[in-house]
A and B are shown apart, each in its own frame.
Chain A
Amino acid sequence: MSGYGAHADHDEHDHHGPAPGLKRWLYTTNHKDIGTLYLWFSLSMFFIGGAMALIIRAELFSPGIQIVDPMFFNSMTTMHAIVMIFGLVMPAFVGLANWMIPMMIGAPDMALPRLNNWSFWIMPFAFTILLSTLFMDSGGPAGGWTLYPPLTLQMGDSFAFVIFAIHFMGISSVMGSINIVATIFNMRAPGMTLMKMPLFVWTWLITAFLLIATIPVFAGAVTMLLTDRYFGTSFFSAAGGGDPVMFQHIFWFFGHPEVYILILPAFGIISSIIPTFARKPLFGYDSMVYATASIAFLSFIVWAHHMFTTGMPLAAELFFMFSTMMISVPTGVKVFNWVATMWKGSMTFETPMLFAIGFVIMFTIGGLSGLMLAITPADIQYHDTYFVVAHFHYVLVPGAVYSLLAATYYWIPKWTGNMYDEKLGKIHFWTSTVFVNVLFFPMHFVGLAGMPRRIPDYSLQFADWNAIASIGAFGFGFSQLIFLWVVIKCIRGGKKATDEVWEGSVGLEWTVPSPAPYHTFEEAPPVAVINKNHF
């Protein structure tokens, strides 16, 4: 049934197969190879960033300072954030985009394959530079991932390396995004109209625009930091006529869209998985698209809600409070649509579906605490406490990270041709879900009761909850080794996957063989197939 998608019927040409050995990965311009590289890279960052988180939680297991110097603690919180955001979530989504978008829109490859190779291979260098700062005399960055001056300017000379690494990551992201936009606009198979695209493609299209719009702003901000530090400018120094708060405005003008960059592709993934396992079309496809676009638009006009304590004028505080509250409307629409998709479906609960449901519930918890944070007077109490830490970890860990795990379980049979071990997958889900809540839920309590974030030591009243959270952290961290095992096991063998893989799967990627051949859709799929395979 899938002869048109695979290249199997055609003559074998040398340049069609992968090159042997290491060169295959170094020189590859194949979207699937590059997607694989991105995914392995982000998985390794998941474990590196996770190890940092465990150092943090080990130190916070009990009051007093037992394990690390406070300065190293600060560089752990800083590096954990940079590694997880720029090393795990963003590259993992780019990896999924590389693998899936061409197959979802019936394209043979990405529009700009050589750019694609380059945008991946920048990343390992960027992170080598970033992580190497931990071994420099002046230590790694310790001023928080938000890099607020003047604190961040107190860093030693590893500062320049951090800025350089951030520039590299930014270049990689922008190139990746341009590639994705170019692919979606130019490479769709005839008949694959915009409103027939899977939501993963839609959310990535919008995300790519967010990245192209905001990464250069971030690059500008860190460059100004660099010149403040080394070339005697005073962009952010009041003594020279600058303003430290201006950095925060510029940073969050990037930073808030950035948090949607970390979650919009997740929305797309969940919107693919839930209909599959509910065996029912996605509810409100059009409104999902419009809601995503609205969230993206709103993300540009809410940045200062990260700055309610910086002393803005009342009018600005009111504006940013109202605009932030508005975001809950399109986000709510999405959640309601997912629930309505499940409603009266015929559900089964394989691992991808479990992670997707976990996502909807726990992302919603994070979203609701986000709504609480939008209320400015209350935010003045919540700001910079563990309540905020709980909030953004709920949307990022059982949110963004769960979507990545769900996506892996969902598509790995297509990537490897083998089914993963369902039993291990379920164990992975349940241990992760129990521990992730043990880890993050108590943070709401200590935050409300007055525990600031980014502190290596705390008062005794917070001791019990912190001990519990640390237990959760280690449980969650070690649960991810199950995931690693499942992935390796699945690559090495297992029950052969069918082309459709899932009973209720819809979309062009399920019309090609499993594993997906090295080249797919060298000939566009027929319009009839497209019309049969969209939401």
Chain B
Amino acid sequence: MKTDTPRSDRLATLEDSSGLNAAVNGSGSLNGCQLSRSRLPRFFSKSVSKSGYRLFASTLIALLLVPAAYAGYGDALNMPVGVTSVSREVYGLHMLIFKVCVVIGVAVFGVMIYSMVMHRKSKGAKPATFHESTTVEIIWTVTPFIILLFMAWPAAKVLIKMEDFSGSEMTVKITAYQWRWHYDYIDEGVEYYSQLDAEHNVARQKGAGIELERFDNYIKEVDNPLVLPVGKKIRFLHTAADVIHAWWVPALAVKKDSIPGFINENWALIEEPGTYRGKCAELCGRDHGFMPIVVKAVPQEEYDAFIQGKLSEGQTADFDTTRQWGKSELMARGEEVYGRNCIGCHQAEGQGIAGMFPAIAGSDVATGDIVRHLQTVMNGVEGTPMQSYSDVLSDIDLASVITFQRNALGNEMGDVLQPYYVDRIRKGLDLGSAVAATEPDVPDFGIGNQTDSNFLGGAAATGATQ
């Protein structure tokens, strides 16, 4: 399912400058957008020119930020400005309220510190006896109220804009699963899953012992990014298949809960091509931390080419469920599917985690009847974290991963599951009778020296006993 959309140079630059590299080479960007460090000099030059509290406030911020920036923390200090008009307005609101808070804080703490220095007994201070002043109390009730009104107005304006869905030009339906995203371009008829990149998935396992520094975007990379056109008002519809998730891309200032059984919406109009990364923001179980989002914003032509590519890819041999697949093909693909989907719980060697996740190595399911094995993966196991994979994995992926589990991880069943059979199970056809009914047309499933007779025999027997 590789979709290598040609990228512009600009995009590549943006990608290179994000993540760890930024911390090292100091280009200071987060999620593909320019950030705090590059903004620092501007902030200072602006504030130095003004006097009074702003100088004081910015000195305070500087005291905090400058050492941090020098130490290479520049890309993890502040909210990204983002690449939509809404995200910029949100950033503006954030900085405005932040400055208001800094001013209030400095004023209150300033008075406190002055008082602590001047009005101490050791300096011979004699306590005053006043304990109320209606005037003062009215002033410090009304003043904050006025500041709040002054804050509420712009905040309400931005909020109203965020909730205005009129004039949307396209719609993407995003369905959250534990722990992947499903993107459905409703108008185009293109849909696919997106989840943590397989290499990252291996590296993030406990005790993986892999140098994380070699990943530019550790646990922020996915297999299939969401490709979107720039300059279009895109409406996102959010829902979930299992538990509540939240789709969040900071650079677009969009975060919305995905709620099973309900549809939420928000929108973005991306102005700059680039790669924007996000994360699931709502605790959704064991692998909540490993549900990254990658949005690739590309010019319209590239987007059109991407959609065309997706539409035609179903016709290539890689996606042919009717043909007979070789064992090595299935094993190779199965390993990949396993790495993406199963490894988190069942672990790299299929050993599971005692007391939490059962082993696959030598398990009853993986060394038992192949149809039961398939059904376990397709339907999940109720009352356990083992979810249903029938919607998540294609026929080919299911056939591959079953074949892999039975012939690797210490298991040596020798049998093979063809995608063709998965399709039959999906259609509710009993495998045994299906085999019998279509006997003349059944292709030879045996490949090389594998024991196709075992498989067919076993399957037929299951059919007979059911």
The distance from the CB of A33 to the nearest CB of chain B, in whole angstroms, is 36
- A70-B289, A244-B259, A283-B131 known; A464+B108 contact, CB < 8 A: no
The distance from the CB of B65 to the nearest CB of chain A, in whole angstroms, is 9
Q: Is the pair B260, A244 in contact by a Cβ cutoff of 8 Å?
A: yes
The distance from the CB of B404 to the nearest CB of chain A, in whole angstroms, is 23
Q: Identify which of residues 395-423 in chain A touch chain B, using a CB-to-CB cut-off of 8 Å.
A: none
**CB < 8 Å neighbour of A449 from B79, B104, B213, B264:** B79
Q: Is the pair B287, A70 in contact by a Cβ cutoff of 8 Å?
A: yes
Q: Is the pair A69, B256 in contact by a Cβ cutoff of 8 Å?
A: no
Q: Is the pair B80, A348 in contact by a Cβ cutoff of 8 Å?
A: no
Q: Is the pair A139, B108 in contact by a Cβ cutoff of 8 Å?
A: no
> Which of A144-152, A167-175, A265-273, A483-491 faces chain B?
A144-152
Q: Is the pair B76, A446 in contact by a Cβ cutoff of 8 Å?
A: yes
- Confirm or deny: A329 has a beta carbon within 8 angstroms of a beta carbon on chain B: yes
Q: Is the pair A460, B213 in contact by a Cβ cutoff of 8 Å?
A: yes
Q: Is the pair B280, A71 in contact by a Cβ cutoff of 8 Å?
A: no
Q: Is the pair A314, B120 in contact by a Cβ cutoff of 8 Å?
A: no
Alpha-carbon gap, A445 to B36, bound state (A): 11
- Confirm or deny: B323 has a beta carbon within 8 angstroms of a beta carbon on chain A: no
Residues of B within 8 A of A71 (CB): 286, 356
Q: Is the pair A450, B80 in contact by a Cβ cutoff of 8 Å?
A: yes
**A283 (CB) vs chain B CBs: closest residue:** B131
Q: Identify which of residues 125-160 in chain A touch chain B, using a CB-to-CB cut-off of 8 Å.
A: 137, 139, 142-144, 148, 150-151, 154, 156
- Confirm or deny: B284 has a beta carbon within 8 angstroms of a beta carbon on chain A: yes
Residues of B within 8 A of A151 (CB): 243-244, 283-285
The distance from the CB of B151 to the nearest CB of chain A, in whole angstroms, is 7
**B121 (CB) vs chain A CBs: closest residue:** A346
Q: Is the pair B288, A449 in contact by a Cβ cutoff of 8 Å?
A: no
Residues of B within 8 A of A66 (CB): 206-207
**CB < 8 Å neighbour of A381 from B94, B116, B205:** B94
Interface string of B268-301 (1 = CB under 8 A from A): 0000000000111111111111100000000000
- Confirm or deny: B162 has a beta carbon within 8 angstroms of a beta carbon on chain A: yes
Alpha-carbon gap, A332 to B283, bound state (A): 33
**A287 (CB) vs chain B CBs: closest residue:** B137
Q: Identify which of residues 65-119 in chain B touch chain A, using a CB-to-CB cut-off of 8 Å.
A: 68, 71-73, 75-80, 86, 89-90, 93-94, 97-98, 101, 104-105, 108-109, 111-112, 115-116, 119
Q: Is the pair B78, A448 in contact by a Cβ cutoff of 8 Å?
A: yes
Interface string of A500-519 (1 = CB under 8 A from B): 00001000000000000000
Q: Is the pair B77, A448 in contact by a Cβ cutoff of 8 Å?
A: yes
- A154-B285, A284-B137 known; A344+B128 contact, CB < 8 A: yes
Q: Is the pair A377, B77 in contact by a Cβ cutoff of 8 Å?
A: no
- Confirm or deny: B233 has a beta carbon within 8 angstroms of a beta carbon on chain A: no
Alpha-carbon gap, A376 to B156, bound state (A): 8
- Confirm or deny: A427 has a beta carbon within 8 angstroms of a beta carbon on chain B: no
**B145 (CB) vs chain A CBs: closest residue:** A329
Alpha-carbon gap, A70 to B204, bound state (A): 11
Residues of B within 8 A of A383 (CB): 246, 255, 281
Q: Is the pair A380, B162 in contact by a Cβ cutoff of 8 Å?
A: yes
**CB < 8 Å neighbour of A375 from B155, B254, B256, B385:** B155
- Confirm or deny: B181 has a beta carbon within 8 angstroms of a beta carbon on chain A: no
Alpha-carbon gap, A289 to B137, bound state (A): 13
The distance from the CB of B70 to the nearest CB of chain A, in whole angstroms, is 12
The distance from the CB of B266 to the nearest CB of chain A, in whole angstroms, is 8
> Which of B16-24, B38-46, B50-58, B435-443 faces chain A?
B16-24
- Confirm or deny: A255 has a beta carbon within 8 angstroms of a beta carbon on chain B: no
The distance from the CB of B459 to the nearest CB of chain A, in whole angstroms, is 33
Interface string of A430-461 (1 = CB under 8 A from B): 00000000000000011011111111111111
Alpha-carbon gap, A378 to B86, bound state (A): 11
- Confirm or deny: A345 has a beta carbon within 8 angstroms of a beta carbon on chain B: yes
Q: Is the pair B19, A377 in contact by a Cβ cutoff of 8 Å?
A: no
Q: Is the pair A309, B131 in contact by a Cβ cutoff of 8 Å?
A: no
Alpha-carbon gap, A453 to B136, bound state (A): 41
Alpha-carbon gap, A329 to B144, bound state (A): 6
Residues of B within 8 A of A48 (CB): none
Q: Is the pair A282, B131 in contact by a Cβ cutoff of 8 Å?
A: yes
**CB < 8 Å neighbour of B159 from A70, A282, A318, A339:** A318
Residues of B in contact (CB 8 Å), total 112
- Confirm or deny: A280 has a beta carbon within 8 angstroms of a beta carbon on chain B: yes
Residues of A within 8 A of B86 (CB): 377
Q: Is the pair B108, A244 in contact by a Cβ cutoff of 8 Å?
A: no
Residues of B within 8 A of A339 (CB): 108, 111-112, 115
- Confirm or deny: B63 has a beta carbon within 8 angstroms of a beta carbon on chain A: no
- A325-B151, A450-B250 known; A378+B94 contact, CB < 8 A: yes
Q: Is the pair A348, B121 in contact by a Cβ cutoff of 8 Å?
A: yes
Q: Identify which of residues 185-231 in chain B touch chain A, using a CB-to-CB cut-off of 8 Å.
A: 203-208, 212-213, 215, 217-220
- Confirm or deny: B317 has a beta carbon within 8 angstroms of a beta carbon on chain A: no
Alpha-carbon gap, A346 to B130, bound state (A): 13
Residues of B within 8 A of A317 (CB): 159, 163
Residues of B within 8 A of A286 (CB): 132
> Which of A37-45, A110-118, A357-365 faces chain B?
A357-365
The distance from the CB of A153 to the nearest CB of chain B, in whole angstroms, is 9
Q: By CB atoms of chain B within 10 A, which of A63, A368, A381, A385 has the most? A: A381
Residues of A within 8 A of B316 (CB): none
Interface string of B136-153 (1 = CB under 8 A from A): 110011001100100110
- Confirm or deny: B126 has a beta carbon within 8 angstroms of a beta carbon on chain A: yes
The distance from the CB of A441 to the nearest CB of chain B, in whole angstroms, is 8
Q: Identify which of residues 3-40 in chain A touch chain B, using a CB-to-CB cut-off of 8 Å.
A: none
**CB < 8 Å neighbour of A279 from B77, B127, B162:** B127
Alpha-carbon gap, A335 to B109, bound state (A): 10
The distance from the CB of A445 to the nearest CB of chain B, in whole angstroms, is 5
Q: Is the pair A69, B129 in contact by a Cβ cutoff of 8 Å?
A: no
The distance from the CB of A455 to the nearest CB of chain B, in whole angstroms, is 3
- Confirm or deny: A322 has a beta carbon within 8 angstroms of a beta carbon on chain B: yes
Q: Is the pair B281, A384 in contact by a Cβ cutoff of 8 Å?
A: yes
Interface string of B141-184 (1 = CB under 8 A from A): 10011001001100110111011000000000000000000000
- A71-B356, A346-B125, A464-B71 known; A381+B90 contact, CB < 8 A: yes
Residues of A within 8 A of B260 (CB): 150, 238-239, 244
- A244-B244, A368-B105 known; A461+B23 contact, CB < 8 A: yes
The distance from the CB of A14 to the nearest CB of chain B, in whole angstroms, is 46
Alpha-carbon gap, A154 to B179, bound state (A): 14
Q: Is the pair B257, A311 in contact by a Cβ cutoff of 8 Å?
A: yes
Residues of A within 8 A of B355 (CB): 137
Q: Is the pair A452, B285 in contact by a Cβ cutoff of 8 Å?
A: no
Alpha-carbon gap, A70 to B290, bound state (A): 10
- Confirm or deny: A293 has a beta carbon within 8 angstroms of a beta carbon on chain B: no
- Confirm or deny: A499 has a beta carbon within 8 angstroms of a beta carbon on chain B: no
**A348 (CB) vs chain B CBs: closest residue:** B121
- Confirm or deny: A187 has a beta carbon within 8 angstroms of a beta carbon on chain B: no
- A150-B242, A284-B132, A459-B220 known; A464+B72 contact, CB < 8 A: yes
Residues of A within 8 A of B396 (CB): none
Residues of B within 8 A of A (CB): 19-20, 22-23, 30-31, 35, 68, 71-73, 75-80, 86, 89-90, 93-94, 97-98, 101, 104-105, 108-109, 111-112, 115-116, 119-122, 125-133, 136-137, 140-141, 144-145, 148, 151-152, 155-156, 158-160, 162-163, 203-208, 212-213, 215, 217-220, 238, 242-244, 246, 248, 250, 253-257, 259-262, 264-265, 278-290, 344, 353, 355-356, 383, 385
Between A and B, 25 residue pairs with Cβ closer than 8 Å are: A65-B204, A70-B286, A142-B286, A150-B242, A150-B243, A150-B260, A244-B259, A284-B137, A311-B256, A311-B257, A311-B265, A328-B144, A339-B115, A344-B115, A344-B125, A347-B115, A368-B104, A377-B90, A378-B155, A381-B253, A383-B246, A445-B76, A449-B77, A457-B290, A459-B19
3 smallest CB-CB distances across A and B, nearest first, come from A238-B261, A455-B289, A311-B264
Additional 19 contacts, C-beta under 8 A, given A329-B145, A378-B93: A65-B207, A65-B208, A70-B286, A142-B285, A143-B285, A245-B257, A283-B131, A309-B257, A317-B163, A322-B152, A343-B119, A347-B121, A364-B105, A368-B101, A372-B97, A377-B162, A384-B246, A384-B282, A454-B289
